Amino acid sequence: MTQRDPLSADASPPDDVAAQLRVVLRLAFAGSVADELAGRVRDEDDRAGLRRLLRSARSRLVLDHMLRRLPWWRDRGQSTAIGASSAVRPDDAVMLIARVGLGLDVLDISQLLDTTPEQVAASLFAGRRALDRRIGEACDRFAEAIGEYDDPSADPDERVALVTHARFCRSCNQAIERSRQVDTLIHSEMDRISVGLGSIPPARDRATRLRPELLLPAGLVAVA
């Protein structure tokens, strides 16, 4: 019998990669759709597959949002954290999947999706704001910086400017903290999904791998 090439187009991704993708994609899709999309990535180094996955996820989310507008379809879809049943727009949901779910940095996401880091950061801000409207009270000038508040590829000068500003701006300070809380809730939902699939939730050690000078201090004290 001919053995299948493990890197062939129809090969299944390794178990750990496949398991992670199946969990993350269930943030936005029903199980069967999530599993089908997850199968498009062969391994952790398959950037072409990851690009296809993210673009396919966006196209599917656009379709799901359109279908949700139809009265006869509205109650058929499965409720998900950031899918068509949520207030998160398709583009923003894909950015949350990539950044919060998969841990890709903003620069990497922009290259995969042929967009700019600024657009990715703005989309992350908008996606988190859709899940917690109070994030939208932040100053427009710092919306993108807040969108990439924990990103290792963020401009250090922008990070310093945000930290300095947030010490005196209660709205931006709280927007940063609420963004953290949204990410924590997304991770908690991923853990719940992992358990439901019989997997062990992964350790959350991403922050410890970031360069210390790029980490935004938690618990900034805002001045009224």
Residue 69 to residue 86: CA distance in whole angstroms = 13
CA distances from 20 to 189, 191, 209 (A): 13, 11, 19
Q: Minimum mean pLDDT among 77-86, 115-124, 176-185: which range?
A: 77-86
pLDDT in tens, 101-150: 999 999 999 999 999 999 999 999 999 999 999 999 999 999 999 999 99
Average pLDDT, integer, range 162-185: 95
Domain residue extents for the chain: 15-214
Residue 204 to residue 212: CA distance in whole angstroms = 16
pLDDT > 60? residue 36: yes
Mention every residue, 6+ apart, whose C-beta is less than 8 A from residue 179.
125, 128, 135, 146, 147, 149
Residue 27: predicted pLDDT: 96
**C-alpha torsion sign, points 143, 149, 152, 155:** positive
Closest CA to 126 of 148, 104, 150: 148
Q: Give the pLDDT band of residue 61 (cuts 50, 70, 90).
A: very high
pLDDT > 70? residue 211: no
**Amino acid letter for position 15:** D
Mention every residue, 6+ apart, whose C-beta is less than 8 A from residue 152.
105, 209, 210, 211, 214
Residue 60: predicted pLDDT: 94
Q: Give the pLDDT band of residue 202 (cuts 50, 70, 90).
A: low
* CA dihedral of 216, 153, 60, 196, whole degrees rounded to 10: -50
**C-alpha torsion sign, points 210, 214, 216, 217:** positive
> Judging by beta carbons within 10 Å of its beta carbon (0-12, 13-18, 19+), is residue 213 exposed, middle or buried?
exposed
Q: Give the pLDDT band of residue 42 (cuts 50, 70, 90).
A: confident
Question: Which has more confidence, 141 or 67?
Answer: 141
Contact of 113 with 104, CB cutoff 8 Å: no
Residue 67: predicted pLDDT: 84
Residue 86 to residue 65: CA distance in whole angstroms = 9
Which SS3 state, helix, strand or coil, does residue 170 take? helix
